[in-house]
């Protein structure tokens, strides 16, 4: 018997107001795997994540979590899909502790998070909106941990953050994945993404133009850069074309 991946996009066509911006995307993430979704602005990365978490209905194709179809946000919540959107999705007026408790599956899950990440304990009474960017992103990731998510979706994890903070967040992502969470993340910083991920997909104009293992794509960085400028029908341009 074949085991279903933790997350599977099966010929997913997604978009807004019935206009497709992502076409026939096939993608999978196994439990414990870290997968990057790369591509230029407007390629359809956020649309893909919005559809994966059930917030946008697919125009065709399916999203499945452990083989079960996601038809909306209720299914996504039931099958423990956590989404850290680009602006982190925190309740900015509430404290760190209140944000964690609102998502957590149990009081124990909150305590476990404080035990593992003691830096957060010192901030527990602080209003989330007053945290630094890095602290907010850490809190958003740890809310997913407290939820005991099976699938974690992260949009633009490191945008605007200092390199030291970025490294720390990358360690947190590795740590949660090592416990079996399937992670799909969107990242502007290609080198960081390829270091962190097991595999990556590159989207351009809503089509997957390149995919491969992180180390393999690090060696094919010229081809990867070129794929950012491809139009989905012209992925064979030479490196000389890259600005
Ligand atoms: N809420 C929306 N309504 C209509 N069009 C949208 C909406 N959000 C994104 N789009 C369009 O969908 C395309 C893909 O956007 P997006 O998924 O945000 O790309 P990315 O995250 O890769 O930058 C863009 O052309 C964008 O203008
Ligand atoms: Mg986006």
Are 228 and 64 in contact by the 8 Å Cβ rule? The answer is no
Query: Ligand 1 mean position to 140 CA, how many Å?
Result: 23
Contact 202, 224 (CB under 8 A): yes
pLDDT band at 153 (very low <50, low <70, confident <90, very high): very high
Residue minimizing CA distance to atom 5 of ligand 1: 16
pTM over 0.85: yes
If you ran DSSP here, which 8-state letter would residue 239 be given? G
pLDDT in tens, 77-128: 999 999 999 888 899 999 999 999 998 988 999 999 999 888 888 999 999 9
Burial of residue 85, with CB atoms counted within 10 A of its CB: 0-12 exposed, 13-18 middle, 19 or more buried: middle
- List all residues 6 or more positions away from 112 whose beta carbon is below 8 Å from its beta carbon: 146
Give the residues across from 152 on adjacent strands.
82, 183
129 lines ligand 1 (CB under 6 A): no
Task: State pLDDT tens for residues 42-64.
Answer: 999 999 999 999 999 999 999 99
Residue 242 predicted with pLDDT over 50:
no
Residue 234 pLDDT greater than 70, yes or no: no
Give the number of C-alpha atoms closer than 13 A to the C-alpha of residue 65, restricted to the C-beta side. Answer: 26
H helix intervals, the chain: 45-52, 73-78, 96-103, 107-116, 118-121, 133-146, 163-178, 190-196, 214-219, 221-229
Read off the pLDDT of each residue in 151-164 and give the average, rounded to a whole number. Answer: 92
d(CA 132, CA 135): 5
Average pLDDT over residues 204-220: 95
DSSP class per residue in 18-65: TEEEEEEEEEEE-TT-EEEEE--TTSSHHHHHHHHTTSS--SEEEEEE
Confidence of residue 1 (pLDDT cuts 50, 70, 90): low
Task: Compute the mean pLDDT over every residue in the chain, rounded to the nearest whole number.
Answer: 91
Q: Give the number of the atom of ligand 1 that is nearest the alpha carbon of residue 47.
A: 17
pLDDT digits over 158-188, tens only? 988 988 899 999 999 999 999 999 999 999 8
Q: Is the pLDDT confidence value at 3 over 90? A: no
> 9 or 106, which is more confident?
9
Q: In what order do the strands lie in the sheet with 207-213?
A: 81-84, 151-154, 182-186, 34-38, 199-204, 207-213
CB 227 within 8 A of CB 210: yes
Confirm if 52 and 153 have CB atoms less than 8 A apart: yes
153 CB near ligand 1 (under 6 Å): no
Report whether pLDDT(243) > 60.
no
Handedness of CA 211, 67, 83, 207 (dihedral sign): positive
Q: Is residue 5 lining ligand 1, measured as CB closer than 6 Å?
A: no
238: confidence class by pLDDT, cuts 50, 70, 90: very low
pLDDT value, residue 231:
64
Nearest alpha-carbon partner for 48 in 83, 74, 22: 22
pLDDT value at 68 more than 50: yes
For each of the domains in the chain, give its residue range(s) and CATH number, in order of start. 7-80+149-241 (3.40.50.300), 90-148 (no CATH)
């Amino acid at each position: 018997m074949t085991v279903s991946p933790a997350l599977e996009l099966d010929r997913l066509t997604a978009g807004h107001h019935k206009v497709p911006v992502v076409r026939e995307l096939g993608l999978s993430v196994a439990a414990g795997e870290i997968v990057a979704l790369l591509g230029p602005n407007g390629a359809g990365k956020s649309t893909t994540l919005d559809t994966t978490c059930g917030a946008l209905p697919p125009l065709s194709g399916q999203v499945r979590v452990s083989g079960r179809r996601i038809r909306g946000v209720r299914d996504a919540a039931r099958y423990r899909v956590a989404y850290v959107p680009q602006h982190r999705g925190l309740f900015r007026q509430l404290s760190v502790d209140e944000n964690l408790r609102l998502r957590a599956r149990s009081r124990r899950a909150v305590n476990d998070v404080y035990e593992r990440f003691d830096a957060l304990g010192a901030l527990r009474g602080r209003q989330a909106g007053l945290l630094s960017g890095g602290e907010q992103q850490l809190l958003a990731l740890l809310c997913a941990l407290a939820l005991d998510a099976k699938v974690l979706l992260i949009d633009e994890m490191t945008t605007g953050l200092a390199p030291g903070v970025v490294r720390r967040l990358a360690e947190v992502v590795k740590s949660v994945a090592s416990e079996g969470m399937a992670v799909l993340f969107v990242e502007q910083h290609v080198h960081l993404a390829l270091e962190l991920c097991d595999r990556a997909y590159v989207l351009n104009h809503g089509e997957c133009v390149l995919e491969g293992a992180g180390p393999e794509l690090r060696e094919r960085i010229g081809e990867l850069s070129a794929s950012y400028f491809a139009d989905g029908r012209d992925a064979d341009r030479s490196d000389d074309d890259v600005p």
